[in-house]
Chains A and B, each alone.
Chain A
Amino acid sequence: ETGVTQSPTHLIKTRGQQVTLRCSSQSGHNTVSWYQQALGQGPQFIFQYYREEENGRGNFPPRFSGLQFPNYSSELNVNALELDDSALYLCASSLGGRGSEAFFGQGTRLTVV
């Protein structure tokens, strides 16, 4: 148990729809990162939020967006879903600062049909 919870655990959406995934960070952690993991590959960094501000972004299009709330929980929003967006979406929280380890949630399995 890492204290990082994600919801929902599984989700099926139709191409073109929009989806919102949620993450509650570990108590005391002010940094949340989101990753996409396609089948058979390692997780790929989408973006990170630190104290409600985006603090770095990977190679993902603008239809991937996020929010971080004052309690440091976070949302990942994906618009205009494509079949290739089918993946495990992982949230990781950390304390922020040099070398702090990140703790991952169990992920949300998104299937786009």
Chain B
Amino acid sequence: DAKTTQPTSMDCAEGRAANLPCNHSTISGNEYVYWYRQIHSQGPQYIIHGLKNNETNEMASLIITEDRKSSTLILPHATLRDTAVYYCIVRNLFGNEKLTFGTGTRLTIIP
């Protein structure tokens, strides 16, 4: 699986947009970009995924660059409950579909 690079930590003011970057320069054509988050002591929570087009759902937006080598997860109006570790994962469409987690970005929302 391709590896991802994320900043170790980020802060964001409550009510502002949180933009979390991810580099995946070795991503291959059959790999999706997935985002999960993990609030302390809970299981990871699925946020969003995409292949090459930008995606939006009720939780977030995912912007993938045209060359697919990087992406940004956007939480449009961050709340204190968005404080968590955010994982960017590239995942093969085939095979056993395992998720390869890195160390993620620890996002802290500041009141």
Q: Decide if B102 is an interface residue (CB 8 Å cutoff).
A: yes
Beta-carbon contact of B99 and A43 below 8 Å: yes
Q: Decide if B100 is an interface residue (CB 8 Å cutoff).
A: yes
Give a binary string over B82-111; 1 marks a CB under 8 Å from any A CB, 0 the rest. 000001000101111111111110000000
Across the interface, which residues of A come within 8 angstroms of B44, CB to CB? 43, 90, 92, 104
Given the known A-B contacts A42-B104, A90-B43, are A99 and B98 also in contact in the complex, defined by CB atoms under 8 Å?
no
Interface size class of A (residues with CB under 8 A): 20 to 34
Beta-carbon contact of B43 and A48 below 8 Å: no
The tally of residues in B whose CB lies under 8 Å from a CB in A reads 24
Our pick among B32, B42, B46 for the contact of A103 (Cβ within 8 Å) is B46
Beta-carbon contact of B102 and A48 below 8 Å: no
In the assembled complex, the CB of A109 is this many whole angstroms from the nearest CB of chain B, namely: 8
Q: Decide if A31 is an interface residue (CB 8 Å cutoff).
A: yes
The CA of A33 and the CA of B100, in the complex, are separated in Å by 12
Chain A residue nearest in CB terms to B43:
A104
Chain A residue nearest in CB terms to B103:
A42
Give a binary string over A21-48; 1 marks a CB under 8 Å from any B CB, 0 the rest. 0000000000101010000011111001
Beta-carbon contact of B46 and A102 below 8 Å: yes
Beta-carbon contact of A58 and B43 below 8 Å: no
Q: Decide if A55 is an interface residue (CB 8 Å cutoff).
A: yes
In the assembled complex, the CB of B64 is this many whole angstroms from the nearest CB of chain A, namely: 14
Across the interface, which residues of A come within 8 angstroms of B51, CB to CB? 99
The CA of A42 and the CA of B44, in the complex, are separated in Å by 10
